[in-house]
Structure 1
């Protein structure tokens, strides 16, 4: 899992989180961080930006994907934000260190206001965001004044990201197998000089993506099948020739955990304020469009890949179902029939 690469200069983790039934508990985020510790420790030493998206309306029944939260969830959200901040600072900043202001390491010292704009130019099509950051830029928190949705949340983080690559992480996907992040970044960086085989985005197989290269979503389309046959291979990172990084072309842009070029992300997914409306998900909006372009021979514009160790027979990602998960205690209530009124 280790690689010796300089995470602070190469990679930023973008973690998006929002209201769930389990808040104010941080169990979801804690599960993600534990999976980092077990399967890719570099993700705990890289810079991290946490975007706290919020809810749109308080309703009798939660529809969290649409920004609708119950009164209980809404009431618990501020406490949840505070709990996650404490958790992230404890995991991403060295204990006992002091910064130039003699404050504990990780203390947010810098704060500023920004805005997330969308749609046609109009003051109503803007959301103000508050950004706080540690002195060493190791930890950054973004808090919008209104709901952004996953797409605009990612864009808000990309805009202040100071590294060439990002790891985009939703709060309810955990790693379930070891990810060789250093060699993978090395291969991506090396591909910058080879326009014939660009590597701009790499996702990882989940349960439904086993044997992706020979699945119907590839084999049923001659252009995708031929492209897979010509490009699928083991790449060799220049800094470690003994390691192989197996990749196969991916014909979609997924929201699930992925590593990507920051510049490519902004240029391809967010070329203008019209690209994404408030509340939208990238895979719903851009993923479908990208797949159609790829079927028409434009895969190279997107340069999406799937990490393909052992022909993707083993899932690398596990979905935690954040919108329905009640937390450990809540799940026990549901399992044994005890539901609080």
Structure 2
């Protein structure tokens, strides 16, 4: 077990004889008012009876960043009241503390793999206020771990804000160990001003069962902890998107400006093994016409060429043992650096000589002097090369596979300012509703379905998009095997959650003859695949320096997606997701819009020929 320090909790009259002991990880911990511990509150015999009374079949999964199994009961509701032994324990808690519990949660917690450390630890692990706001003296929480001990992390931010990472002081942060069968009581300041998180103690590889008796205001009684923070004064008012009068929503009769006045296309590129050839980029950009002629030829394009890191030694290292891995991290040999330089020269020439009907027309090449990685290369382009309110971000080996409603998506975002990001579907997220169900269960599914967006701007002609439409008939099928896979995928789509949810909606909400409704599925993952995003949202939120949501050298999705999950854990699914406003476009044909050439492994015909010559004839 970890090293714990015993601290005494004084009674309100200051009589040390009434002290109880807390086991804490921080020897200088400032114990909050309203926090106390009663050791050995239940006997082993009582524990055995309680465990026998728990029906393991009634658990539901809850949470996003911290997944846990939970059973919830109300002592005032006969339909959901727990068995008699829990009523007896409720009365025992009242005799000891004076508090009357109205609800019970039986929760199973695993060990937190990452230990809390330092003032900013709560930025990486979700801790929540259990009481929604000051003012109700009857609010309290009583927790009893069974089978094993549990650990309660507590920290007090400088302000009552779930997103305030600065603590009152280093002494206002500690783990508190709750021995098996002991009672931890929280009320007043501890419940209102302090954030908490429960986990199994690190001396066990198993989970711990925690009985949580509580009485909280009606606003806090939701199916999970994160809803307790969805209140005024939570400190998240400036984090991400919050609707305001400054949104400048256009009037219904106002026409959308030309696409080229709204949208800049940012293409990111970096060294790949096919350099100095521009073939990968050419193959990717020639598919831009699937987004429409205005998108392909009129919208301004910025190609950001990331910098490189030179190898000091040509020998492979343990971290970068192969060419693809090294190039992915911007590490090049002298020969690769020379090839990349020639590639950039050819690219500039390609853009300068491009005719009006070429996707390379109206394209600016931006070279970075140092290696930044995808995320920071994108940040550079947003800060220095973009003047339009929206951007379409495309990596150099990402392609459109079929006609894609870029203009319609752009108008949906322009008229509905809460839509901040729209990803074009790819193979791995085409069934995102099924992914959500598998990860987070049905407890959130009804709320998730309410977040699906269907706006008039995405009501299109049936002949253009949807099953058996012009778009699906023009699908870029590069091989017979790919064709078979795509058709099999489209067939399985019809019986998936992604497909059946939409079929149910269409039956209840029929659209006019000859029309087809596209939808935007909310996502809790920020995909770096082809997407349109509001420029301001990227610049001022995603890349806000103080939030540190994107790391130099990394991808945006790597750090931003966990932040999205933590925000949903703190604020709830609806409010947490709205701060990011990210969705995936689906025309419900069962076919994805974008594909991947895999630039890291891509070989031109010339390279293949050289490899074949080097290997010699087969015997």
**Where does residue 20 of structure 1 map in the other structure?**
272
Given that 2:302 and 2:366 are in contact with CA atoms closer than 8 Å, whether structure 1 keeps it comes out as yes
CA–CA distance in structure 1, aligned partners of residues 352 and 295 of structure 2? 14
Given that 1:23 and 1:80 are in contact with CA atoms closer than 8 Å, whether structure 2 keeps it comes out as yes
Matched, 1:300 2:543: no
CA–CA distance in structure 1, aligned partners of residues 392 and 436 of structure 2? 28
**Where does residue 348 of structure 2 map in the other structure?**
85
How many aligned positions are there? 290
Name the SS of the counterpart of 1:158 in structure 2. helix
Per-residue Cα deviation, 1:207-235 (whole angstroms, up to 9, x for no partner): 12232112256652457533431022432
**Where does residue 370 of structure 2 map in the other structure?**
146
CA–CA distance in structure 2, aligned partners of residues 289 and 325 of structure 1? 33
CA–CA distance in structure 2, aligned partners of residues 255 and 77 of structure 1? 23
CA–CA distance in structure 1, aligned partners of residues 390 and 552 of structure 2? 24
**Where does residue 326 of structure 1 map in the other structure?**
603
Name the SS of the counterpart of 1:232 in structure 2. coil
CA–CA distance in structure 2, aligned partners of residues 295 and 337 of structure 1? 57
Per-residue Cα deviation, 1:300-341 (whole angstroms, up to 9, x for no partner): 000100001116x2121111111121223334556x58459x
CA–CA distance in structure 1, aligned partners of residues 261 and 608 of structure 2? 41
Matched, 1:185 2:410: yes
Over the residues paired in the alignment, what is the CA RMSD in angstroms?
Answer: 2.9
Deviation at 1:139, TM superposition (A): 3.1
**Where does residue 234 of structure 1 map in the other structure?**
454
Match of 2:301 among 42, 48, 67: 48
Deviation at 1:13, TM superposition (A): 0.3
Superposed counterparts of 1:1-341, under 5 Å: 6-44=258-296, 45-58=298-311, 59-60=314-315, 61-62=322-323, 63-91=326-354, 94=356, 138-160=362-384, 161-192=386-417, 198-216=418-436, 220-222=440-442, 225-237=445-457, 244-272=517-545, 274-296=548-570, 297=572, 298-310=576-588, 313-331=590-608, 338=614
CA–CA distance in structure 2, aligned partners of residues 304 and 291 of structure 1? 12
**Structure 2: gaps spanning 5 or more residues:** 1-255, 316-321, 462-514
Bigger CA drift: 41-50 or 183-192?
Answer: 41-50
Given that 2:401 and 2:595 are in contact with CA atoms closer than 8 Å, whether structure 1 keeps it comes out as yes
Deviation at 1:148, TM superposition (A): 0.9
Bigger CA drift: 181-190 or 206-215?
Answer: 206-215
Per-residue Cα deviation, 1:220-260 (whole angstroms, up to 9, x for no partner): 24575334310224321299896744211111111111000
Deviation at 1:37, TM superposition (A): 2.1
**Where does residue 174 of structure 2 map in the other structure?**
none
CA–CA distance in structure 1, aligned partners of residues 458 and 435 of structure 2? 31
Given that 1:17 and 1:51 are in contact with CA atoms closer than 8 Å, whether structure 2 keeps it comes out as yes
Deviation at 1:40, TM superposition (A): 3.5
Given that 1:169 and 1:256 are in contact with CA atoms closer than 8 Å, whether structure 2 keeps it comes out as yes
Deviation at 1:41, TM superposition (A): 3.0
Deviation at 1:144, TM superposition (A): 1.4
CA–CA distance in structure 1, aligned partners of residues 451 and 299 of structure 2? 30
**Structure 1: gaps spanning 5 or more residues:** 96-104, 107-137, 193-197
Per-residue Cα deviation, 1:91-139 (whole angstroms, up to 9, x for no partner): 4x638xxxxxxxxx97xxxxxxxxxxxxxxxxxxxxxxxxxxxxxxx43
CA–CA distance in structure 1, aligned partners of residues 516 and 261 of structure 2? 22
Deviation at 1:5, TM superposition (A): 5.6
Change in CA separation of 1:89 and 1:310 when aligned onto 2, cut-off 3 Å: farther
The higher radius of gyration belongs to 2
Change in CA separation of 1:305 and 1:239 when aligned onto 2, cut-off 3 Å: closer
CA–CA distance in structure 2, aligned partners of residues 220 and 337 of structure 1? 52
Per-residue Cα deviation, 1:31-53 (whole angstroms, up to 9, x for no partner): 11111124433332201111110
Change in CA separation of 1:67 and 1:339 when aligned onto 2, cut-off 3 Å: farther
Given that 2:460 and 2:518 are in contact with CA atoms closer than 8 Å, whether structure 1 keeps it comes out as no
Change in CA separation of 1:29 and 1:238 when aligned onto 2, cut-off 3 Å: closer
Name the SS of the counterpart of 2:545 in structure 1. coil
CA–CA distance in structure 2, aligned partners of residues 276 and 66 of structure 1? 16
Q: Which has the higher contact order (CA 8 A, sep 6+)?
A: 1
CA–CA distance in structure 2, aligned partners of residues 166 and 218 of structure 1? 32
